[in-house]
Structures are given as C-alpha cells and as structure tokens.
Structure 1
C-alpha cells in the first residue's frame, strides 16, 4: 500500500515537471522500445527480400485494429479511473479496471476468430499481391495468436498507468521489446524460419510481457484490485469507458484503414512501393510512439488533477508538455531529413527503387512531423478531461476526414507523388483543425472555468 500511496502523492502533490517526467519517461521508453522492435522486424525481414517486407506491411493494419480494441477498453478505462482516483473512489476504480480488461480480451478473441476465418480475402483487400500473399499468410497466422495476448497487454498497460504505475508499465514493454529484438535473428538465420521467424519472435515477446503484467496484477502492489468478482458490466460504466475509448478505437481503425488503403493503392505501383511506404510508416511511428508514450503519463495526471479541482496544476502540465513536445518534434524532423539516406539504406540497401520512393515519402512526412506534438497533446488533453467530442474530432480528422478523400483524389490526379503527399497534407489540415478547436474552447470559457471537468459518478 505504501507504493500505491506514493503514486497518488506523485499525481497530487509532486512538482509538475518532476511528476510529468516520472510518469512520462518510463511509458515513453516502453512505447519507444515497442516501436523500435517493429523497426527491427522490418530490418531483418529486409534481408529476406522485397516481397517479405511487403508481407509484414500488409499484416500491420490488422495489428492496429487489435491495438484499437485494447485502447478502446484500456485507454477509455484509464481516463475514467484517473478521475475516480481524483475523488478517492477506489472501489469503483477497481471495478472499472477489471471490467475493462475482461471485456477487452473477450472482444479481441471474437474479432481474431473472424479474421482467421476470412484471412485470405482480408489480406488481398489490404493490398497483398500474388507474390506477397503466401508470405503475408504464414506471417499473419502466427501474429494472430500473439494478438490475443497483446490485447490484454495493451489494456492492462493503459489501466495501470492511470494509477501512476509507469515503471511497471515500462518494464513489461521493455522486456518484451528486448526479447523480440534478440530472437529475430535467431529464428530467421539460425532456425531458417524466414518471415515466420519474425512472427515467432513477436509471439514469445508478447507472452513475456503478458506474464509480467499478470504478476503485477496478482502481486497486490496495485492500488486497484483485480478479481473476477469485480467484473460487473453495466451500461453506465461502459458509457464512461466508451466516451473516451471510442475516439481511441476510431483513431486506430482509421489508422489501420489508412495503411490498408495506402498498401492497396501502392500495390498498383509494384512491390517496391508497398515495401517503401511500409518502411517509412515504421520509421515515422517511432517518433509518434515516443510522443504517445510520454502522453500516457500526462493523461492520468490531467484527469486526476482536474477531477480533484487542481485546475492550475493541470494547465501548468499542459504548457510544459507543449514546449517539450515541440522541441522533440523539431529535433526529430531535422535528424530524419539530414540522415534520411543512411537510415533508409539500412532497411533496403539492395533495391534502388525502394530507396528512391522511400526517400521522397520520409522527407515529406518529416517536414509535417513538426506539428505532431501540438495536435496529439491537445487531443490527449481533451480525452483526459472526458471531452470525447473534441478528442474524437482530432482522432477522426488526421486519418479519416482529411486523409481518405485526399489519398484517392491526389493518387488519381498525380499518381505515386499524390499517394506520397496525401498523409503530409492530411497532417497539415489536422493541425489547422486543432488550432480552431483550442481557440473555440478559450472563447467559450472564462479563465477560471477552463479545463473544468464534470465530476465522475461514484456509482454505476
């Protein structure tokens, strides 16, 4: 209980910048390692061939969908749990956590069963060419098994972060990521497993993370209590979870749809284009995941303090992360532009066509990455406060309302160059929308009312 109370003290009384670092750095490291092992997967698969890179890129949207299920219940519950802890409603917070975890696993398992039954047509719809399909199928069948455990991992990761257990979250992700990177070359080159080797490495890594999360939940170190008797699904509870969880799910579904459509359109330009855009997507996801990871610590801090009535503390945290985030994006964009050639060569040094296409796409995305922190931070802030409408608009805008029409129109009008330009232009539109939403919020509320959150109900 001592560690539990120290985490509450961290959220409630610690110096803002120090608290944000203690909460955000561990989750950022964990998310960074998760993104890094995705890059490592592509690096080793790149040694096998262009079709194999394409296979991993084709299956990736399916993983994003299951990530969305984990976030639907995990991130949705995380926001509500942080607000419940802010008003000392510990029993209700434990009930919310248990219900969310079990709901996530059951939903994910049903969805994965459906994917398995219709795997071939799904992979072809995602852009698998005849040369890519065999590799994509053998990779996907193993990855699907690992996704069952990963839905649990994602849900638990978000929920324990809500109580300030950032270090435990980091250790689980870090252990899985390191093991994945170590096993990739073992399965691929020593056991000659080909693209299946990457999937086996991922499966083992997710099992390790699963074990660490289970140990933490059973250890009694958590402020929350996880037991089957606390599984009490009710519509009022799901309303609170879904209010924030649905925008997160929609974001992941649109992200998956975006990658699927991109792969489908890219397949019309050949396997090299599918591989090139898949590489760039993994590279850009590293920076994005680091921002998302840090904000996983920021989100419960905002929810807890706004719910507890500490408005100035919450606003100070937002100002701080905006400065940190924009500096990070500036440095990241600069490094990607200056070092694009050695970065891309390390993934596909034997295919000049892949390098040519990837160079254009990486530089274009690196330029607009400058505004990534601004839109993500404000989106997270809205969701942390329970403002699903504003947070949902930001989630839908970048990958949905803006990207989907742009990618078809630009590809039709300008071919491959239009396909490459679609995501950067969608980002620009999204940033403009966030500016409008933030300014609208400021005009509607007097200073003393900014960030006021409706108190969460103690009973559901």
Structure 2
C-alpha cells in the first residue's frame, strides 16, 4: 500500500500526463502559449502605455518622454532580478513535477519567494539613495532629470510588488495554468490603463501619476498571484516551512536564473550604452528616439517571449519524463512560430516606421528621426526568432552554462562593443543604430548552430 506522500505524487504525475505528457503538441502549445503570449503583451502595456500617455502631455511631452526613457534601465534591472529568482526556479519546479515530486517543487517555490523578497528590499534601498547620480550616468541631461527623478522616486516604492507579480507568476505557468497566469497580468494592466489618464491628466500629476498608476496596478497583480499560489487551486503551494533558504536549492535556482537575469539586465546595460552614446553624439532628441524604439522592441519581443514561455513547461516536463521525442517536436514547432513572428514584424517596422512613431509623440522632429532610423535599427530582428527558440530550449533542459553564454553573446559580447566602436569609426550617430541588426543576426546564427550541434546529445533519438 502506498504512503500518502507517494500516492499524492503518483496522482499528480497522472494528472499532469493528461496534458503536458500526452496531448498533441500543437494543441497543447496553443493552450499554453496563447495565454502566455497575451500575458506578455499585457505586461508590456505597463511601460508602453505610460510612455504613450506621457509623450502626449501638452507642451512637455517630448522632454517628459525622454526623461522617463532614461529610467528604463532601472525598470529593466528590477524585472531582471524577478526573472533571476522566478524564471530560474520555475523550470526546476516543472522538472520536479514531471518526475512526480510535488514536495520538491514546493521547496523550490518557497526558496524563490524568499529570494524575491530579499532582492526587492535591497533594490529599493540602493536605487532610492543614489537615484539622481545613477540617472545622470544612464544618459539624463539637465533638461530631463526632473522628469526622471519624479517618475522613479514613486516607482521604486512598488519594487516588491513588481518582484512578486513577475517572479511568482512563472510558477503558475510552470504547472500548466497559463490562462490563470494571463489573468493575473490582465488585472493589473487593465487597472493601469484606467488609472493612467486619471492620474496624469485629470489630477494633473504628470509623470508622477504614471508611476503611481503602475505600482498600484502591480500591487493588485501581486496579491492575485499570492492568493492563487496559497490556495487549493494551485498544484504547488506557498508554505512558510519551505521559505527557509536551502543552499543547494538557492544554488540551483541561481545557476539557471543567471541566464534570464543576464538577458534582461544586459538590456539595461544596453539602454545605458545607447542612451549615453546618443546623448554624446546626438542629444536629447536622439535619446527620445531610442525611448520610442526600445518601447517598440518590447512590443515585438514580449509576444515572442510569451510563445517561448508557453513551450517551456512542455519541454521541461517531458525532458524530466525522458520523453525526448515530444521535446524535439515542441522545439520544431516553436522555431517555426517564433521565426514567423519576427520576420513579419521586421517587414512591418521597416516598411511602415511612421505608424508606431506617431503613437508616442506629436513632435514632428522626433517622428522624422524615428522614421529615418527605425528601418536601420530593426533590420536584423527577423533572425531573433531562432535565438529565442534555441535559448528557451536550453533553459527548459536545465542547460545553465549554455544559456548563460547565449544570454551574454547578443548583448554583452556583440551589441555593446559595436555600439561604442561604430559611431567612432563612422563618425556618425547612425553607427549606434547599425550595431543592433549586426548583433541580432550574428547572435541568432551562432545560437542556432550551437543547438543543432548539441541536439543529438541532449535529446537522443531513442528514449531510454
């Protein structure tokens, strides 16, 4: 007769097998990826909607938009630490569920929650104390520093909500509840869209109103996620006993979480490099153009991330169950979809750059600059789909070192040096914009080649 613990693990594995282990891959990916993609798009609205409203504030919109754009590296760092603890742990929890070990998955969840709370406290303190010199170092000028300080001072008060909402939501997706994960983001995003115009225009709070709307909305999302993971609706639950840090578990989370952390934190470093270079070679108008293009980049990358996150539990679960054929099938479908999305988006942005530019600003000089530089900046984004598909697969299979290298490749090894060197070689600010497509194409081709070279070893043709 099975003990209660063994029986629970067996029942859990049988229930999970009905979906992650047996459903047709196409149908299963649609079930998980569509809500995940929608969640990513909705989550993107937090920052993008803020910028659209801010950019359209009468008289000061362009300068306010540039000021808020300078704060973007800080926002990315906060999100990166959420990914470090959340996305680093969620695939491990999925693998444990695939192996039928629910207690092990819950210990990973508890340790991840502790890591999120600690990092939230540290980030709030550090950025609040040194925000002004940091913003100047990130590319702010005297013309825009006031807007940047106003926005980030309020935003930092909600750091803990951002950490919990983003970090813990990965555990809802990890157990196959992508629709619930989407709903947790949808609640906050809709609230943000409603509160933004009220605080910014009706109450006359400007950029401070945008920041306040964002943190209140993230607080609601965080409470929703916590309530779900503490309830009987969740396969794995938050338990106080599991929040005591375990060195072995924290180490495993950190080793896998460093890749998504690097991917997001290097976005912050990239923003700093681009903004400071554009400020030096061009001025505030060029920094404003990059704020718009980075916002559009978010609009493109987020749905691709959502599709990838929908595929990750399928691959992690079946890898844990040693069903390698399903992992290979999932990868092939993921690659087709992500490449299709990035190719179509590349064509639209290169051919019609003025359409998205006018969403963010009414200033004609800024629109003209974006129309001129956007086709250059996005010329290589078509290849990004291949990198995301391979990067996600390495993450899903627990390949921490490979994931780390690939995370470093596109941004640290390629883009940042190119963005520093090219404008000096060409003597033109356009060299900064050219760096992006070169890095995209080289990194994507390298990532795909590496995956194809290692696929037989990682995913044997015959299951054991």
**Alignment TM class, shorter chain as reference:** over 0.9
Matched, 1:346 2:359: yes
Distance 2:438 2:371 in 1: 17
Residue in structure 2 matched with residue 91 of structure 1 by the alignment: 103
Residue 159 of structure 1, aligned match among 171, 181, 188? 171
With 207-216 and 338-347 compared, the bigger mean Cα shift is at: 338-347
The alignment status of 1:12 with 2:21, answered yes or no, reads yes
Change beyond 3 A, Cα 1:140–1:4: farther
Partner of 2:32: 23
Aligned to 2:283, which of 266, 270, 274? 270
Q: Distance in 2 between matches of 1:444 and 1:318?
A: 15
Is the 1:280–1:361 contact (alpha carbons within 8 Å) kept by the matching residues of 2? Answer: no
Aligned to 2:316: 303
Contact kept? 2:39, 2:181, Cα under 8 Å: yes
Counting matched residue pairs gives 450
Q: Which residue of 2 is the match for residue 457 of structure 1?
A: none
1:425-444 to 2 correspondences below 5 Å: 425-442=438-455
Instruction: Name stretches of at least 5 consecutive residues in structure 2 with no aligned partner.
Output: 1-7
2:435 matches 1:412: no
TM norm structure 1: 0.94
Report if the CA contact (8 A) 1:127-1:264 is conserved: yes
Tell me if 1:376 matches 2:410. Answer: no
Is the Cα contact below 8 Å between 1:4 and 1:221 reproduced in 2?
no
- Aligned structure 1 segments of 4 or more residues deviating by more than 3 angstroms: 1-8, 442-447
Q: Structure 1 residue 38 and structure 2 residue 50: aligned? A: no
The whole-number CA distance in structure 2 between the counterparts of 1:5 and 1:203 is 40
- Partners of 1:154 and 1:316 lie apart in 2 by 29
2:111 and 2:246 in contact (8 A); partners too: no
1:8, 1:163 within 8 Å by CA — same for their partners in 2? no
Q: What is the CA-CA distance between 1:242 and the residue it aligns to?
A: 1.6
Structure 1 unaligned residues grouped into runs of 5+: 453-460
Separation of aligned partners in 1, 2:455 and 2:231: 44
Give the C-alpha shift of residue 315 in structure 1.
Answer: 0.6
What do residues 138-190 of structure 1 show as CA deviations (whole Å, max 9, x unaligned)? 10011111222111111111122111111111001111111111211111110
Residue 249 (str. 1) matches residue 261 (str. 2): yes
Query: Does the CA-based 8 Å contact 2:278-2:286 persist in structure 1?
Result: yes
Q: Secondary structure at the match of 2:155?
A: helix
Query: 1:448 is paired with a residue of what secondary structure?
Result: coil
Whole-angstrom CA distance in 2 between matches of 1:72 and 1:246? 6
The one-character-per-residue Cα deviations of 1:390-413 (angstroms, maximum 9, x if unpaired) are 211111111110011101101222
Q: 1:331 aligns with which of 344, 352, 357?
A: 344
**Superposition deviation, residue 96 in structure 1:** 0.6
Indicate the residue corresponding to 2:5 in structure 1: none
- Counterparts in 2 of 1:444 and 1:308: CA distance versus 1, 3 Å: closer
Separation (CA, whole Å) in 1 of partners of 2:24 and 2:303 = 23
Distance in 2 (CA, whole Å) between partners of 1:183 and 1:95 is 37
The alpha-carbon distance between structure 1 residues 152 and 8, as it changes in their structure 2 partners (threshold 3 A), is farther
TM-score (norm 2): 0.93
Moved more, 233-242 or 438-447: 438-447
- Partner Cα distance (1:413, 1:431) in 2: 25
- The aligned runs of 1:184-333 (5 Å cut-off) are 184-268=196-280, 269-333=282-346
Take 1:330 and 1:439, find their aligned partners in 2: how far apart are those partners? 21
Greater mean deviation of Cα atoms: 74-83 or 236-245:
236-245
Counterpart CA distance in 1 for 2:92 and 2:104 is 10
TM-aligned CA deviation for residue 444 of structure 1: 5.6
> Structure 1 residues 69 and 370 mapped into 2: Cα distance closer, same or farther (>3 Å)?
same
After superposition, the CA RMSD in angstroms is 1.9
Deviations 1:367-398 (A, max 9, x none): 31211111011001001101112211111111
Q: 1:392: which partner in 2? A: 404
Q: How does 1:48-197 map to 2 (within 5 A)?
A: 48=57, 49-197=61-209
Residue 232 (structure 1) shift: 3.3
Moved more, 156-165 or 339-348: 339-348
Residue in 2 that maps onto 1:367: 379
Distance across 2 between alignment mates of 1:348 and 1:115: 29
Distance, in Å, in 2 between the alignment partners of 1:163 and 1:413 is 50
Q: Deviations over 1:301-323 (max 9, x none)?
A: 11110110111011101111111
SS at match of 2:250: helix
Shift of 1:9: 2.4
